[in-house]
Chains A and B, each alone.
Chain A
């Protein structure tokens, strides 16, 4: 029952479609006749039109705009172009991809594009300019014209053309460290260009640009449109620079456009401590068990204050090395302090030269001195011995006199 109904519906649709098709094929000759009548009315007809009749550009930019050329008639036409109105300070021409043209052949009913290009002279001021292009057929019977309006604006959006960003604009460290900033340069213009990298460093500082993960210094960078690249800025401060904040302006420029940024380096100062003796003499003579004294100086040669200077010694066992003062709490930059070192060799040290190491140590800096301690034998015994010998000789002469039987 259901199948029967479906069959009947499909048959109905097919028959309907057939009817429509037959009707259409019967009426089509009549429509074609009407079109031919219209063609005959417009034997020849041309038109030209700018693709974008009104354009806004910024100063110094040149433009290229397509002109639509249409031959609406039945005949082929040679169409001659003239630019009838060129504002002063501009140069304009009509061209195709590779050369300037004066005329265009276009077949009936066809349309083609040619290009209009205009170039301002350098001193052309911003303002509104109108270009008029006339098109004529070879016999001059048909013509068409169209006007292009250019509004030239002052340059404004240059800054936005390059973008310079950094994640860590402030770095800190001592003046013997190297600082590496990471910069992202983004080319927001719509053309590929070479960008110069410029940095302004304080005196005796060095600033170098290098690509990330590559070990070479660069001074320019090529970027495609809307491409972004990461570069490293390596800042080497002056070895002798004092602690403080230093601003390093960096800039990326290409032609007229430029992006700037500031990098900041905070120098925390270096910690260098020097120890020595005023005369430069690092030797000391003493005797077994007797204290020898030497003065050493401790100088802060860094650019920051040093706290908590302590003294250590590397000495033979059973020796005593004492420092006076035992500790220096504060040592300003460039400050010199004198320390007395008392070295006592052990009672049964051998006669000869010993090495005693002195170490001046603070949390961040240290210096070593190596002393030569000459242990001399005590001369006291020598005098006692000579005394004994003299006594013996006197005794002998006493014997000579008392027992000599003279």
Chain B
């Protein structure tokens, strides 16, 4: 692994000094802070006079406030961080002609791609943890509730999942920067993929579900048809990493949520029976519920990196 450390350090220097990163980071931090501030204010108003409910601190991340919650915001715009960090990492070197110079240095060839990816991951970790810490600090000041140990753990796991999620997009963008020689093409390709997974998957899912189980005036009354419709829609939308991320983080960060399904068929006695003890899930149970989502997210991140690794290693780089 000789050389990886050097590459990582150099890359980090590049990242933190580049204007586009500073602008993006500033933008995201600002939006997060504004969101949290609004949520905190509305929480403080809503909870005034109420005996302490459980997991208030986590509500700082999940409650939507006037716009959207922090979790939703990261799910939507987090990928942009990854994309911006990676979309020109290899092909810029190539077009500047620095890649062959780099490869002639006494470092292994894979140290280049590993170092670039690792530097991106480190940047993401620093960024996400600083955002979460600032938001938590702001929350402490705003609502004055100290998080319990379980809440801290949930936030930590949320951080890990978020890092993997953004790293996935980093991997995608590095892959595209390896595959496409032109910077503009890779930028457009990554952007297109992001738009596709963020916007079109959910639309496409309902189109597919409507094709198989049409929901109209008559079948709306039939719970089984509605359930089947919801099932197909969910299965299709799970293709999107954003859906995976949304499902897993919403369970992790909100202990009262018990399933990732949005529609549940439930008899009246079952409903009553569940309401009898409406206890929030413990952390282990929450994790167990969404472990498939988390695992998939981690696995596709690794696979995505592995593909870019293979493609880069097999590529001819000295000739140019």
Contact = CB atoms under 8 A, between A and B. Distances in A.
A44 B90 CA distance: 171
A350 B264 contact: yes
A248 B311 CA distance: 104
A315 B270 CA distance: 7
Contacts of A353: 274, 276-279
A389 B298 contact: yes
Contacts of B294: 385
B295 A352 contact: no
Contacts of A382: 287-288, 291
Interface in A375-406: 376-379, 381-382, 385-386, 388-389, 392-393, 395-396, 399-400, 403-406
Interface size on A, as a range, is 35 or more
B222 interface: no
A87 to B, nearest CB: 93
B305 interface: yes
B285 A354 contact: no
Interface string A307-325: 0000000111111000000
Contacts of A405: 108-110, 313
A354 B292 contact: no
Nearest to B275: A355
A400 B110 contact: yes
A142 interface: no
Contacts of A399: 306, 309-310, 313
Given A379-B288, A405-B110, A355 B295 contact: no
Given A351-B289, A352-B258, A400-B110, A389 B299 contact: yes
A316 B269 contact: yes
B281 interface: yes
A354 B274 contact: yes
Interface in A296-345: 314-319
Contacts of A400: 110, 309
Contacts of A389: 295, 298-299, 302
Contact of A355 (B267, B276, B281): B276
B273 interface: yes
Given A352-B281, A396-B305, A396-B306, A381 B269 contact: no
Contacts of B6: none
A352 B279 contact: yes
A315 B295 contact: no
Interface residues of B, number: 36
A122 to B, nearest CB: 80
A376 B285 CA distance: 7
A351 B110 contact: no
A230 B142 CA distance: 80
A355 B302 CA distance: 42
A377 B289 contact: yes
B279 to A, nearest CB: 5
Given A392-B299, A392-B303, A315 B273 contact: yes
A376 B288 contact: yes
A72 interface: no
B259 interface: yes
B309 A388 contact: no
A350 B258 CA distance: 6
B281 A316 contact: no
Contacts of B278: 353
A356 B298 contact: no
A93 interface: no
A405 B318 CA distance: 15
Interface string A350-382: 111111100000000000001010001111011
A378 B288 contact: yes
Contacts of B274: 316, 350, 352-355
Contact of A388 (B259, B264, B299): B299
Interface in B117-175: none
A317 B270 contact: yes
A405 B109 CA distance: 7
B273 A351 contact: no
Contacts of A370: 276
A356 B302 CA distance: 44
Given A351-B259, A405-B108, A316 B273 contact: yes
Contact of A314 (B269, B295, B302): B269
Nearest to B301: A392
Contacts of A315: 269, 273
Nearest to B272: A355
A317 B270 CA distance: 6
Contacts of B272: 355
A399 B313 CA distance: 10
A351 B285 contact: yes
Contacts of A379: 288
Nearest to B271: A316
B288 A406 contact: no
Nearest to A355: B276
B295 A388 contact: yes
Nearest to B256: A352
A207 B186 CA distance: 100
Nearest to A349: B270
Contacts of B285: 351, 376-377
Contacts of A355: 272-274, 276-277
Interface in B94-112: 108-110
A406 B259 CA distance: 48
B110 A403 contact: yes
Which 8 residue pairs are nearest across A and B when measured between Cβ atoms? A385-B295, A316-B270, A317-B267, A355-B276, A377-B288, A353-B277, A403-B313, A392-B302
Interface of A: 314-319, 349-356, 370, 372, 376-379, 381-382, 385-386, 388-389, 392-393, 395-396, 399-400, 403-406
13 contacts: A314-B269, A351-B288, A353-B277, A354-B276, A372-B276, A372-B277, A392-B299, A396-B302, A396-B306, A399-B310, A403-B314, A404-B109, A405-B109
